[in-house]
Amino acid sequence: MSMYAYVAGTTNDDINDKGSIACQIDFLKQTNVDYDAYYVDTFTGTCQARFQLQKLLMIVKPGDMIDVMDVSNLTSNVRELCCLLTALEDLQVTIFSDEIELDMDDNRDPYYVAKMLCRADMVAMMQHSFATKKMCHLKHQIALRRNNDKKQEFTQKDYQIYNMLMNSDYRTTQQATGLSRSTLYRLKKRIQKQ
């Protein structure tokens, strides 16, 4: 039987932050267990891929144990949790932490599995909500840019009014076009900016 340690978290070096890799490795070292290997997945930004966990699941044999600080570090959504539970059942591997020993042959803790499902579902829901808000913000920004681009487009008539204003004064241009002095001034400034 082999004993492996799995750690997943942020690169934050704060030992008091339970989500950091440093805290989890410190916790596992305090158990005084001689692990065959440590597998560490580092989360950067929005990427929470667990490549090292997949590598670990490919080398474990029936009867092996995987020690983690928090079982919820193994998954980030319900789909991943379901896949992990299926893999554990097929591999006959035990996941061990302070909270629980998750062995697929033992059905003592169905409530904890339900809690993991709820937590993973909540994380997935929060990620979806964040993505939706970000998409709405981006759509709003695109709409603003399109409106600004439309405002900057000048017609042939605008250029004719501008030429008239440059060749005469405001009063004459006002009488000829029917536009107010402030509108003529804004048009002049916009065309000159261009």
| pLDDT interval class at 167 (50, 70, 90) | very high
What would the pLDDT profile of 104-149 be if each residue is shown by its tens digit?
Answer: 555 445 555 656 666 666 666 777 788 888 888 888 888 877 776 5
Q: Which helix (H) or strand (E) holds 69?
A: none
The per-residue pLDDT for range 35-69, each reduced to its tens digit, is: 888 888 888 767 777 888 889 888 888 888 888 87
Global confidence as pTM = 0.51
Instruction: Kindly tell me the sign of the dihedral angle through the C-alpha atoms of 170, 174, 175, 176.
Output: positive
The residue among 71, 58, 80 whose CA lies nearest residue 102 is 71
pLDDT (0 to 100) of residue 133:
87
Residue 2: partners with Cβ closer than 8 Å, 6 or more residues away:
36, 60, 61, 64, 65
SS (HEC) of 112-150: HHHHHHHHHHHHHHHHHHHHHHHHHHHHHHHHHHHHHHH
